[in-house]
Amino acid sequence: MDNTRLILFVALSVIILLLWQAWERENRPPPPATADAPASPAGVPSLPAESRSAPAPDAVTAAPTGLRIRVTTDLLEVEIDTLGGDIRRLALLAHPVSVDRPDQPFVLLDDQPGQPFISQSGLIGHGRDWPNHKTLYKAGQTRYTLGPGQDELAVPLRWTAADGTEVIKTLRFKRDSYVADVEYRVRNAGNTTRDVYLYAQLTRAPLESKGMFGMIPSYTGGVIYTPADRYEKINFDDMAKKPLAREVDSGWVAMIQHYFLAAWLPPGERPRAFYTEALDANRYAIGYKDTEATPIEPGQTAILATQLYAGPKEQARLEQLAEGLKLTVDYGYLTFLSAPLFWLLQQIHDWVGNWGWAIIILTIIIKLVFHPLSAASYKSMAHMRRVQPKLQALKERYGDDRQKLNQAMMELYKTEKINPLGGCLPILIQIPVFIALYWVLLESVELRQAPFILWLNDLSTADPYFVLPALMGITMLAQQWLNPQPLDPLQKKIMMMLPIMFTVFFVFFPAGLVLYWVVQNMLSIAQQWWITRRIEAGAR
């Protein structure tokens, strides 16, 4: 067996699979809401009649808006609507849209038509109306800015019932934080005990397709986490087919996309329900609500609180906020390999201060770790290359008689003590590591807009001048020259076409990923050349 063909065909298959998955994910039509989905409420599960269940919040509408309150911190620009106290727009000041537009922050939450993504929360209860995401609050001012030496901003919103019952919804933002603390201070001015339940949800439309080669081949949709069931994706198809209604004691809900997420992080342990729903043909909700009431005696005050994280998937931050939250950095099934690879890459970056050089050093380390396996494969290829003239002579002798040719080749391998399969296993063992590193370089927001050298000012986007893809194609051709050549002329032509095909594919891949492949190929060429030269010299 020709190990080169095996390696290239496996790699090509992986790339084609990734491209197909990305194309299928981004070009599938958004699932319509099912006919039997409830028109309202917004996905809140119905609990058994005998339970002390909370009522459901009203369905989300493309509703009117109230007054906008603008909040600016060192990391965030936020717009809060007095209608519901919702965060209707949230921009990330430390994450520009692109390197070319450094003054335009990336907008994560937005209520603009087409692709809304909104965070909502409110109170519900039996026997009276409570302020929810469709209730108009009163605000004391419309502008808040985190000043020098100030570590926290508090934005209070007030609602008062006819009997004097008062709710103050306060959103707190802190320096160097993407977390908004949401607190409801409820004072019961009535003459009976009131049961109150808190709910919080995220509503959004799927991202528009960017086309096959402008792809973001990562998951966009809902996720939930509980200590019992761990990390679970709830995609938009699932929301449309069957609304989620799950009773839990702890955990969190989120909407994630490439590099960024928004997540509701309820505090502590108490009975809650996670829910989802398709709100209309192109809008979906995921959220949670308390299923155990907070009773408030007449004249007493109670506080109900939750947290919203809306920001980048920076693993150091996510790990400190909630159990399992860093799993939103979606490395897929190879997380057990990708997570330690990212940790090592992070350590190297902390040392050298540049993600490009960190990728190069990590590639060298991986190559050193796998040196014995690679050496075994290259030795097998070198021996195959050494007997190439004899194999060619056998082909000329037996012509198109495949049976006699294969028998003669097996006898030659036996005489020369060559195992034609000897190089396969070492390569196959390394493939999962290569794929795991692929996801590390593709998914880690830390590499977004990270500069390397010269023209490479963003390792998460394609090389604008195609230098790295061209180098990768050249190094693949060099590797083919070192490998034993196929005896079949058609196979030989196909093998010569593969570097061209790979170069075209990698033109559209992130520069950080192509950098890894170029360095990997160059190290492989050096290792293979040295081993081949030594074996051929010993055969003279």
pLDDT in tens, 176-230: 999 999 999 999 998 899 999 999 999 998 876 554 444 445 788 999 999 888 8
Q: CA nearest 179: which of 265, 71, 288?
A: 265
pLDDT on residue 437: 83
Question: How far is C-alpha 440 from the geometric centre of its chain's CA atoms?
Answer: 10
SS3 content of the chain, % helix, strand, coil (to 5): 40, 25, 35
Helices then strands, each counted (H, E), the chain:
12, 20
Identity of the highest mean pLDDT range in 29-38, 160-169, 438-447: 160-169
Residue showing tokens 């399992």: 324
Residue showing tokens 């293979």: 528
Q: CA nearest 325: which of 272, 250, 275?
A: 250
C-beta contacts of 388-394 below 8 A and 24+ residues apart? 388/484, 388/485, 391/487, 392/487
- First-last CA distance in the chain: 25
Could you tell me where in the chain the CATH 2.70.98.90 domains are found?
65-207+217-327
Beta strands in 205-322 (DSSP E): 221-226, 230-234, 245-248, 252-256, 260-264, 272-280, 283-290, 294-296, 301-312
Handedness of CA 34, 40, 45, 50 (dihedral sign): negative
pLDDT in tens, 408-443: 767 666 666 666 555 565 567 667 887 888 888 888
φ, ψ for residue 83 (rounded to 5)? -80, 100
| Beta carbons within 8 Å of 222's beta carbon, 6+ residues apart | 202, 233, 234, 235, 236, 239, 253, 254, 255, 256, 276, 284, 286
Query: How confident is the model over 238-263, as a mean pLDDT?
Result: 92
Rounded Cα–Cα distance for residues 108 and 116 (Å):
10
φ, ψ for residue 387 (rounded to 5)? -95, 10
Pull the structure tokens for residue 86. Answer: 């919702």
pTM, whole model, 2 decimals?
0.79
Q: CA nearest 293: which of 193, 214, 220?
A: 193
DSSP state of 486: P
CATH 3.50.30.50 fits 65-207+217-327, yes or no: no
Per-residue pLDDT band at 56 (split at 50, 70, 90): low
Identity of the highest mean pLDDT range in 36-40, 241-245, 305-309, 438-442: 305-309
